[in-house]
């Protein structure tokens, strides 16, 4: 598969461009709003083609697919533009700014017979898959779930993650991961109560805490923040034990990962050799395109995740519990 990358964003340079290069697929070109940035990045990563605009990239009929790591508010525009050109799309999370926009993109891409996948890379790590297997097959009645993704956002006050016009905020940037994990392990919640806090007067939340309620009576607590030290984990508890991970989402491809659990009195620690979860994400996307299969993290799943994020925002604004 021939890939193009729309934007020289940090996540592309740090993780996805190297992952494509390691995969069985080919990175043909990269585009930027700045000709210099596109050329410099192409030279740095030995990418054959650079484009002076996003439009020029999607109009290149040598491409099969694009990866989109643009600011959140621009995702929908360029998903549609790529789909119009007949290109399959792997788009960074969150797929769009709300659930309705995700649903619209799903139909838009289906009408043009192109695949659309949201980039939740942690879902493709073997540890995540093993954790799901343990919860599904070995844990009894679940009693609680807790997950967090926090980190200290330092640097310029004009960081795009602090820009309300670009759909920034900790909820959209990293809070979507604990919500996604809760849905992966527990299913869809019935109600949400959320609190957002803007500690920097930025116009977006810099921290989030939410309670997800399930029809069974189970509750999940999810958190995100730009204002604390790094903290990313999930823990699932049941009557007969628990399963827990740390460094749960942003897993370095050069480091081993561990999964801890106690099930029926038996304690276990499983170690997973270093693996590039972005490369696994790329390969999953390409296989789905080739086989005509629906990706695991497709637009339907993206809409369901965004429905929970939307409810957290509504709850915080209204000081009310929101039923889904």
> What CATH number does residue 41 fall under?
3.40.50.720
Q: Which residues are registered as beta bridge partners of 145?
A: 220, 236
Rounded CA-CA distance 51/55 in Å is 9
Q: What's the CATH number where 267 sits?
A: 3.30.360.10
Do 82 and 165 have their domain in common?
no
Which residue, 304, 299, 313, is CA-closest to 95? 299
| 319 shares its domain with 174 | yes
pLDDT (tens digit, 0 to 9) for every residue of the chain, 324 residues total?
A: 999 999 999 999 999 999 999 999 999 999 999 989 999 999 999 999 999 999 999 999 999 999 999 999 999 999 999 999 999 999 999 999 999 999 999 999 999 999 999 999 999 999 999 999 999 999 999 999 999 999 999 977 789 999 999 999 999 999 999 999 999 999 999 999 999 999 999 999 999 999 999 999 999 999 999 999 999 999 999 999 999 999 999 999 999 999 999 999 999 999 999 999 999 999 999 999 999 999 999 999 999 999 999 999 999 999 999 999
Q: What is the pLDDT of residue 104?
A: 98
Boundary (domain end) residue, out of 120, 149, 178: 120
* Alpha-carbon gap, residue 12 to 120, rounded angstroms: 14
Residue 233 is assigned to a structural domain of this protein: yes
Determine the pLDDT at residue 31.
98
Residues 258, 179: Cα–Cα separation, whole Å: 21
End residue of a domain, out of 90, 120, 150: 120
210 belongs to a structural domain: yes
For 216, which DSSP code?
T
Residues of the domain holding 110: 2-120
Asked if residue 130 and residue 263 are part of one domain, the reply reads yes
Note whether residue 286 is domain-resident.
no
Count CA atoms closer than 13 A to 64's CA, side-chain side.
11
Q: Output the pLDDT for position 158.
A: 85
In terms of domains, do 9 and 79 share one? yes
Torsional class of 13: left (φ above 0), alpha (ψ -120 to 50), beta (otherwise): alpha
Q: Are 48 and 172 within one domain?
A: no
> In the listed set 84, 105, 120, which residue is the last one of a domain according to the structure?
120
């Amino acid at each position: 598969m021939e890939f193009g990358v729309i934007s020289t964003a940090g996540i592309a340079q740090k993780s996805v461009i190297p992952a494509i290069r390691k995969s069985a697929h080919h990175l043909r070109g990269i585009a930027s709003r700045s000709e210099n940035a596109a050329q410099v990045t192409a030279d740095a990563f030995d990418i054959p083609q650079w484009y002076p605009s996003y439009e020029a990239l999607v109009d290149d009929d040598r491409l099969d697919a694009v990866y989109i790591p643009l600011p959140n508010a621009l995702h929908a525009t360029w998903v549609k533009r790529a789909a119009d050109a007949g290109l399959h799309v792997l788009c960074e999370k969150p797929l769009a700014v709300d659930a309705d926009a995700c649903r619209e993109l799903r139909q838009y891409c289906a009408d043009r017979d192109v695949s659309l996948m949201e980039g939740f890379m942690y879902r493709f790590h073997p540890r995540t898959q093993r954790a799901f297997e343990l919860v599904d097959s070995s844990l009894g009645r679940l009693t609680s779930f807790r997950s967090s993704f926090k980190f200290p956002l330092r640097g310029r006050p004009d960081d795009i993650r602090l820009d309300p016009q670009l759909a920034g905020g900790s909820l959209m940037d990293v809070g979507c991961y604990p919500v996604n994990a809760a849905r992966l392990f527990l299913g869809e919640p019935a109600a949400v109560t959320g609190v957002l806090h803007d500690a920097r007067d930025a116009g977006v939340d810099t921290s989030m805490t939410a309670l997800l309620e399930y029809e069974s009576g189970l509750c999940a607590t999810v958190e995100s923040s730009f204002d604390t030290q790094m903290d990313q984990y999930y823990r699932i508890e049941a009557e007969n034990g628990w399963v827990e991970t740390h460094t749960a989402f942003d897993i370095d491809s050069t480091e081993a990962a561990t999964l801890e659990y106690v099930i029926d009195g038996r304690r276990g620690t499983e170690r997973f050799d270093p693996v590039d979860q972005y490369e696994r994400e790329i390969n999953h996307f390409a296989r789905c395109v080739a086989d005509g299969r629906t990706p695991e993290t497709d637009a339907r799943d993206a809409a369901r995740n965004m429905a929970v994020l939307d409810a957290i925002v509504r709850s915080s604004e209204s000081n009310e519990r929101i039923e889904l």
